[in-house]
Structures are given as C-alpha cells and as structure tokens.
Amino acid sequence: MSETEFDPAHGEPVAETNLDEDDRLKPEFVASVIAHVEAGDDEGARALVAPLHPADIADLFELVPGEMRRPLAAAIADRLDGDVLSEMNEWVRDELIEALAPHEVAEIATQLDTDDAVAIIEELDDDEQRAVLRAMEPDDRAAIEEALSYPEESAGRLMQRDLIAVPEHWMVGDVLDYLRSNEDLTTDFWEIFVVDGRHHPVGTCNLSWILRTPRAIAIADVMKREQTLIPVDMDQEEVALRFQKYALISAAVVDQAGRLVGMITVDDIVHIIQEEAGEDILKLSGAGDGDINEPVKDSYKARVRWLLANLLTALVASTIIGVFEGTIAKMVALATLMPIVAGVGGNAGTQTMAVTVRALATNQLTQSNTMRAIVREIRIALLNGATVAAVIGTGVALVFGNAGLGAVIAAAMMTNIVIAGLAGVLVPVTLDRMDVDPAVSSSIFVTMITDSMGFLAFLGLATATGLAG
C-alpha cells in the first residue's frame, strides 16, 4: 500500500479503482467482466467483482446487455445478495428475480430489512408472492405480510420494524445495559425512541446525546420531546418532504391510535426525494416512468397515449388555422411566419409552467402567495413579450418591407407571451387545487393554449387589419 499513490476519493490504491471520476463503473471494466463470463471463466469474473460495493454490483447488472444478466448472476451467485438486489433498478431486478425459485427469493428477502424485502416482494405477481411468503420463516413472513397490508408507496411499506424503544422512566445507564445485553437487537439505528405505557412515542434521543451523558441521568431529561411522527398511511412523497423540511435522520411511524409501529431512516428516503424531484420532468413530457431499463412495450404504451392526446390538441390549433385559409391564400408569408408566434409562445408557457410545477411540488407556492406569483409572472411576461415582439416586429418589417406585417406579428407575439405566462401559472395551480398532479397534465393544456392563441392572434389580426386584403 505504501508503494502506490494514495487516492483520497476511496482510501484505496489508485491502481485498483474500477470507477471513473463520477463514481461510474468504467466501460473497460464492464467489458472485462462480460468477457470473463462469456468465456465461462466464472472464477475470473468473481475475482473482478470481489472488491465492488453492493451498489456497484447492482450498477454492473444494469450496464451489461439484457441477455448477459442471467449468465452474470449465475457466475457471481454468491455476491447476488439482498444488499445488491435492494440497490438494483426495479426492472433489472424483476428480470433476475423471475429466474429464481421462490425459496431462493425467500432466502434473499430474509437477509434484508423489512422495507427492502417488501420492495422486492411487492413487485412479484400474486402467485409468486404467495410462493415466496410460504417459503419464509413465520416471523419474517408476518412482518412482510403486515407491510403489504399498507397501501403502495405509503410509510407502512417504507418503514423498518426493527427499532429501539425504551420506557420513559429509564436512566441512561439502563439504556446502555439494555443495548449491550440484548444480542438480537438491530445494530443499525441513529436515534432511540422513548415510549409511554401505551407505546406512544413521547420523545426521541440522538445516540450522540446518550454517549455524552452520565449513566445516572434520566433518559426523559436527555430526549427531545418535540418530534415529527409519521402516520403509517402517509404517502411516501409527503414523508420525503417532511424529512427534508425538518432535516430528519430517522422518524417514528405511528398507527391510527398513535402507537409506535416502525421507523423510517433517511437513507430509505434519499432515493425517493431524488425520484420525486426528477420525475416532474418525465411527467411533463409524458414519458411515463422514463426508465431506460423499462421494457420497450411499456415505454411505448405510456408515450403513445401522450402523443395521441397531443395529436388531438394539435387538431384544435389546426382547426383555427383552417378558419383563416382564405387569408393565408391571399398572403402565403403568413403561413411561413405563424409557427414563430406559436413556438416562442409555447416556450414562454413552458418556462412559467416549469417554475410553477416545481414551486407547487416543493410546497413553496401555497394559497397565501398564489396571487403574488400570478402578478409576478405577468410582469415577467410583459417584459419578455415587449423584448421579443420588438425584435421580431422590426425584423419582419425590414425583411418583408412591410411595416404592417411587422406590427401584426409584434402584437400577436406580445399577446401570446402574456397569455402563455398566465396559462403557465393558472393551469398547474388550478389542477393542483382540483387534486390532480399538475406535472402530469399541465403541458397538454398549456401547449394547446399557446398554439391556438398564437395562430388565432396572428392570423386574426392579419385578417382584421386587412393586411392580406
């Protein structure tokens, strides 16, 4: 070790690292593993994979071609454990799990925390689920079945049942003795929960506070009484927002009666925060789950539905143009210019919509400041509209040598950008008030409005002013 250069990023000799500067497995490494597996050299493949973190082994399965995944799994079977599976993309995981016998899945699930086991088992068909559950120990099985009884994407499915709860009358010393003398307690926890006689949480205690307190002090004097409790049926997106807002490391989960039934830790939440924040862009574009590992037919189904809806809204715009066919026939230049008005308006609408959707998703935009947000967007739209209208109006007037045409396109552009700003904030806010996810359907409406209004304003003004006359 002293011979090789020290790599501060991993505390390992540089020569051994298989990751690039962004923590991604290097293509050469992936290719080398594939070559070993294809050559039937399982031992060589295992040696390559040996130093990898479970998260990197999961990535490896995602990076090799689909048809290589099962041979790779067979070659490095001893490393394909619960830790690797719980880090794996769900589509890739399902593909591998389908190839396993129920008792193999049961064995893997038994090694995991309840929440990770549930994440694997909930994706199976009902038949497979039953087969796997039958193959599990009664204790583990009961925990999983209970978790599955909660709604999908709820706190009940995310939580772990293994936690440390102590009575409120204990001293710090009692807690230390309890932790040291009970072999079968969980080993990974960040806070302990203090409960009353009804098993209701009354406080939370960071481990660091316990470590810094003498044995004879009451735990009730060390704990924090203000705590954030998560109802067991809370949606995971709300759980994620709450963790983020209050900077939580772990939180107690309580049932309807207020009893402590589980704990959620931040490491289970981080990927939900990332997914929920990242999926708005996929929803706004109608790309469905938007996962590059999703089977082609699922992606096709999600996306074509959106394109067909878009086709319908395009027909509305098209119908509006149709009304002005007479005007266009007299002055074909209008057909050349009209997509500019619609297109730039569409972009202005998308900008406002993106800002509004993010502000709604992060709870920054509420009833208290909606009116202010609308006024703000109108002011920005007026400035944007004036600038863009001046540029395009002057340009068209000069190029076409037609001041009237320049004035008409400038007025239409101004109108459409202001309408776009209004639609970009009003459509998502209205959908949100109606309890419809604004990220899913806003863009269809906003695009329809900016397209139609762009054509209507431009062709309508051209007709009304007798420009093409």
What tokens appear for 226 in the block?
């203000």
- For a second copy, which is the closer residue by CB, 137 or 298? 298
Q: Does 256 bind a second copy (CB under 8 A)?
A: yes
Element (H, E) at 379: helix 370-400
Query: Residues 193, 249: contact at Cβ < 8 Å?
Result: no
Identified binder of a second copy from the candidate list 57, 106, 361, 462, rule CB under 8 A = 361
Q: Does 171 bind a second copy (CB under 8 A)?
A: no
- State the Cα–Cα distance between residues 154 and 231, nearest whole angstrom: 9
Long-range contacts of 433-439 (CB under 8 A, 24+ apart): 437/283, 438/356, 438/357, 438/360, 439/279, 439/280, 439/283, 439/284, 439/357, 439/361
Taking CB under 8 A as the binding criterion, the range among 19-27, 36-44, 94-102, 141-149 that sits at the site for a second copy is 19-27
Identified binder of a second copy from the candidate list 63, 88, 427, 431, rule CB under 8 A = 63
Closest distance of CB 184 from a second copy, Å: 11
Residues 416-455 within binding reach of a second copy (CB under 8 A)? 417, 447, 451, 455
Q: Three-class SS of residue 281?
A: helix
Closest distance of CB 134 from a second copy, Å: 31
Closest distance of CB 452 from a second copy, Å: 10
Q: Is residue 14 packed enough to be buried (19+ CB in 10 Å), middle (13-18) or exposed (0-12)?
A: exposed
Paired strand residues for 201: 195
- For a second copy, which is the closer residue by CB, 12 or 43? 12
- State the Cα–Cα distance between residues 417 and 187, nearest whole angstrom: 58
Q: Does 4 bind a second copy (CB under 8 A)?
A: no
Identified binder of a second copy from the candidate list 368, 401, 434, 469, rule CB under 8 A = 368
Report the first-to-last Cα separation within the chain, whole angstroms: 86
Closest distance of CB 135 from a second copy, Å: 27
Q: Does 376 bind a second copy (CB under 8 A)?
A: yes
- For a second copy, which is the closer residue by CB, 132 or 164? 164
- For a second copy, which is the closer residue by CB, 135 or 179? 179
Question: For the chain, what is the largest distance between any 2 Cα atoms, rounded to a whole number of angstroms?
Answer: 96
Identified binder of a second copy from the candidate list 47, 99, 101, 185, rule CB under 8 A = 185
- For a second copy, which is the closer residue by CB, 209 or 407? 209
- For a second copy, which is the closer residue by CB, 218 or 229? 229
Kindly state the number of chain residues that form the binding site for a second copy, as judged by CB under 8 A. 148
Identified binder of a second copy from the candidate list 120, 144, 251, 342, rule CB under 8 A = 342
Q: Does 394 bind a second copy (CB under 8 A)?
A: no
- For a second copy, which is the closer residue by CB, 281 or 440? 281
Inter-CA distances, 268 with 121, 163, 229, Å: 17, 15, 16
Pairing mode of beta strands 250-254, 230-231:
parallel
Q: Which residues touch 180 (CB under 8 Å, ≥6 apart)?
A: none
Q: Does 136 bind a second copy (CB under 8 A)?
A: no
Q: Does 70 bind a second copy (CB under 8 A)?
A: no
165-167 sheet: strands from edge to edge: 165-167, 191-195, 201-206
- For a second copy, which is the closer residue by CB, 40 or 322? 322
Query: Residues 210, 176: contact at Cβ < 8 Å?
Result: yes
For 134-191, the DSSP string reads HTS-HHHHHHHHHHHTSPTTBHHHH-BS---EEETT-BHHHHHHHHHH-TTS-S--SE
Q: Does 79 bind a second copy (CB under 8 A)?
A: no
- For a second copy, which is the closer residue by CB, 136 or 232? 232
Residues 280-339 within binding reach of a second copy (CB under 8 A)? 280-282, 284-287, 290-293, 296-297, 299-300, 303-304, 306-308, 310-311, 314-315, 317-318, 321-322, 325, 328-329, 332-333, 335-339
- For a second copy, which is the closer residue by CB, 125 or 308? 308
Q: Does 379 bind a second copy (CB under 8 A)?
A: yes
Q: Does 179 bind a second copy (CB under 8 A)?
A: yes
Closest distance of CB 220 from a second copy, Å: 15
- State the Cα–Cα distance between residues 398 and 393, nearest whole angstrom: 9
Q: Does 68 bind a second copy (CB under 8 A)?
A: no
What tokens appear for 345 in the block?
């308006």
314 Ramachandran zone, left/alpha/beta (phi>0; psi -120 to 50):
alpha
Residues 207-226 within binding reach of a second copy (CB under 8 A)? 207-214, 226
- For a second copy, which is the closer residue by CB, 60 or 121? 60
